[in-house]
Amino acid sequence: MLIINTSKTYSPIGIFDSGYGGLTILKELVDAMPQYDYLYLGDNARAPYGSRSFDTVYEYTLECVNHLFDKGCELVILACNTASAKALRNIQQKDLPGIDPKKRVLGVIRPTTEVIGNYSKTKHVGIFATAGTVSSGSYIIEIQKSFPDLTVYQETCPMWVPLIEANELDNEGAEYFVKKHIDQLFAQSKDIDAVILGCTHYPLLRPLIEKHLPEGVVILAQGSIVTHGLKDYLFRHPEMEAMITKNNQLDFLTTDSAEQFDRNASLFFGKEVNSKHLSL
Ligand code: DGL
């Protein structure tokens, strides 16, 4: 039985991910803006989303966003590139007006694509992401809006999330798959000088990625970019900022086992967490 206060005195920022990856974003948000309440929801029972169809990711994401709204959230961040790529636009344009036009759902792709051009001299940039994010073309579409002179190369990394979820970061298998996808990206263009880790799980592979990336290539850290973007958003929307409750409260929900979530979450969040199970 969930015991989360849903009165108006509890209106946290909702953070959604298919599983654990969004915790890498939450960690940076909490470090930078500890005053707010945050409610994290990981749909671990149905993760990974990366290989699922557009309709399925949209349906699952909307269901989870509605749960966060029911718990009191006015603002929800899709801290998942796959959900941002496949569900965000529909939720913003089709669903929110009917649910509550004052509520907001934001993603992690737009803030990243709005700055990528500032990091590239060669104008060739690379994206590592899940199959769903790559096939959506969202990064290419969004980057063209902000930096039409950039050429974008994408690389699907289907093994990276399963390796991370299975806690297999320290073995040769992980290194093999990291190197393989870096080589494949750079086989598309040797001129790439900036890459986006376009999946919120991938920061856990950063040491291995840094080891195999060609020298001088910049890695964009999505956590700090999203944090900066949210700060700016709240500054520009004081009516939303005023609605978010500020008691430094952190709550975690998972659609799978809470014990298992707590065991694995600290790897992503850097601290112990105490989650509750949410039945969908
Ligand atoms: N963390 C999610 C993302 O940023 C992907 C993980 C998954 O495949 O569910 O894309």
Domain ranges of the chain: 13-107+224-277, 110-222
Q: How confident is the model at residue 280 (pLDDT cuts 50, 70, 90)?
A: confident
* pTM (2 d.p.): 0.94
Is the fold of 13-107+224-277 the same as that of 110-222? yes
Ligand 1, atom nearest to 80 Cα: 4
Write out the catalytic residue numbers.
Answer: 80, 199
Ligand 1, atom nearest to 133 Cα: 10
What value does the mean pLDDT take over residues 263-268? 93
- For the stretch 72-109, pLDDT in tens is 999 999 999 999 999 999 999 999 999 999 999 999 99
Q: What is the pLDDT of residue 167?
A: 85
- Ligand 1: does its nearest atom lie under 6 Å from the Cβ of 25? no
What value does the mean pLDDT take over residues 156-166? 92
What backbone torsions phi and psi does residue 192 show, to the nearest 5 degrees? Answer: -60, 130
Q: Go through the chain and tell me how many residues it has.
A: 280
113 pLDDT more than 80? yes
Instruction: Work out the percent of the chain whose per-residue pLDDT is above 70.
Output: 97
* Spacing, Cα 80 to ligand 1 middle (Å): 5
- Ligand 1: does its nearest atom lie under 6 Å from the Cβ of 78? no
110-222 is classed in which CATH architecture?
3-Layer(aba) Sandwich (3.40)
- Ligand 1: does its nearest atom lie under 6 Å from the Cβ of 83? no
Ligand 1, atom nearest to 83 Cα: 10
Averaged pLDDT score across all residues of the chain: 95
Instruction: Work out the percent of the chain whose per-residue pLDDT is above 90.
Output: 93
Are the C-beta atoms of residues 54 and 266 closer than 8 Å to each other?
no
* Spacing, Cα 205 to ligand 1 middle (Å): 14
Fold designation for 13-107+224-277: Rossmann fold (3.40.50)
* Spacing, Cα 40 to ligand 1 middle (Å): 15
